[in-house]
Amino acid sequence: MTTDIQDLMFQLQKKNDSKIVMYIADGLGGLPQEPGGKTELETAATPNLDKLAQRGTLGLSTPVLPGITPGSGPGHLGLFGYDPLTFNIGRGVLEALGIDFDLGPNDVAIRGNFCTIDNDGKITDRRAGRIASDIGAKLCEKLDQIEIPGVEVFVKPVKEYRLVIVFRGEGLGGHVNDTDPQRTGIPPLKAEGKDAASEKTAEICNLFIEKAREVLKEDAPANLLTLRGIAKKPDIPTYEEVYGLKSGAIAVYPMYRGLARLVGMDVLDAGQTIDDQMKCLKENWDKFDFFFIHFKYTDSTGEDGNFDAKVKRTEEFDAGLAKIEALNPTVIIVSGDHSTPSKMKAHSWHPVPLLLAADRCRFDGSTGFSESECRKGGLGQIQAKYIMSLAMASADRLEKYGA
């Protein structure tokens, strides 16, 4: 299934030697701590972004629709030009693909979070104190021994407190609610299916959690887990099919590697730091037409409610831009998948700053890159799913439409 914009991209795409770089600061948008104050982006020293803004065009991106708070999956699919209302991809699928798990047609994939519960079974920490990855891996080995009649169970570590669970069996559905209540002080939710096949999956989820409760009872702070993004892998057209682009993804976190793999990008070895990512970009520059570079830490610091840390991470993101520009890409897109204001400690519905720079840009007189400057920018406020068509046009990769 494709959307109208993707059908149009397929019809109009053409080849040339241009290079497009999409540089994404996860959770980029923010809010001031006090009315009339500055956001994290406005507070940060961002000389490279400000300079690029002066030769580009700014705007604001709406990930899904006005007022709708997106998860990371819909947020990125919008950036990639896929309508997130058409392609609603479960987070479990993205996490599984991100760790190179080969999902089949009988698989249901789940993103798990280790959490801490008290003696009454109420959640006191939704992320189990952000346990180290080696601890999480050992706990996954224990959970991988759980047996459930009629299905195969796979439990794999992802990073820190995150893990992947896959149930493999006939007749399983992927429409099951998350068991994470998104707040502390209450127990995890019960899994419930929205149809008969999904109810079968929900029963397996609840049984798995009960067995996990026994397995993890002595492992505080990670003495239980919650289940999120319970889903099956969908059919989705690839980037090369839609845009004619050979695409490489440079992302550290598994979920974003999974998102890239889902749309057919080659997932490259990104290392662990922004310097590693930029080294990877340079080494692979001649191999791809399009690069997706993902920076996570503007989101995680926002979710932690740490305004100053998000400012610092934004400055790190800015420093990376200089190494991208040194390679002289034809088009640079800078944005985020959603806003994560540290004031809210969560994703939000606020439009996301957007910058498009290319020789074919109609410069709009912007003096810097910030929410306030983007609000006045020449792109206006657009849905994220149209960013790629603007990038393709700016790279001279689209034929004229119609006679």
- Give residue limits of the domains in the chain: 4-88+235-394, 94-231
- Give the strand pairing for 290-295 and 247-250: parallel
Q: What percent of the chain has pLDDT over 90?
A: 90
- pTM (2 decimals)? 0.82
Please name the residues in contact with 162: beta carbons below 8 A apart, sequence gap of 6 or more.
95, 111, 112, 113, 114, 136, 254
The pLDDT tens digits of the residues spanning 303-326 come to: 999 999 999 999 999 999 999 999
Res 3: pLDDT: 62
CA 84 – CA 86 distance, rounded (Å):
5
- Residue 398: phi and psi, rounded to 5, are -125, 135
CA 97 – CA 319 distance, rounded (Å):
30
Res 4: pLDDT: 80
Residue with tokens 């559905």: 173
For residue 294, which amino acid is it? H
Residue with tokens 């068509």: 389
Res 1: pLDDT: 43
Burial class (CB in 10 A: 0-12, 13-18, 19+), 383: middle
* Average pLDDT, rounded, for the chain: 95
The pLDDT tens digits of the residues spanning 84-115 come to: 998 888 889 988 988 889 899 999 999 999 99
Res 97: pLDDT: 87
Instruction: Please state the CATH superfamily assignment of the domain spanning residues 4-88+235-394 in this structure.
Output: Alkaline Phosphatase, subunit A (3.40.720.10)
> How would you classify residue 122: left for phi > 0, otherwise alpha for psi between -120 and 50, otherwise beta?
beta
**Short-list 234, 174, 247, CA closest to 1:** 234
Q: What is the pLDDT along the chain (403 residues), one digit of tens a residue?
A: 446 888 999 999 999 999 999 999 999 999 999 999 999 999 999 999 999 999 999 999 999 999 999 998 899 999 999 999 988 888 899 889 888 898 999 999 999 999 999 999 999 999 999 999 999 999 999 999 999 999 999 999 998 999 999 999 999 999 999 999 999 999 999 999 999 999 999 999 999 999 999 999 999 999 999 999 999 988 889 999 999 999 999 999 888 998 999 899 999 999 999 999 999 999 999 999 999 999 999 999 999 999 999 999 999 999 999 999 999 999 999 999 999 999 999 999 999 999 999 999 999 999 999 999 999 999 999 999 999 999 999 999 999 999 8
- Residue 174: phi and psi, rounded to 5, are -115, 20
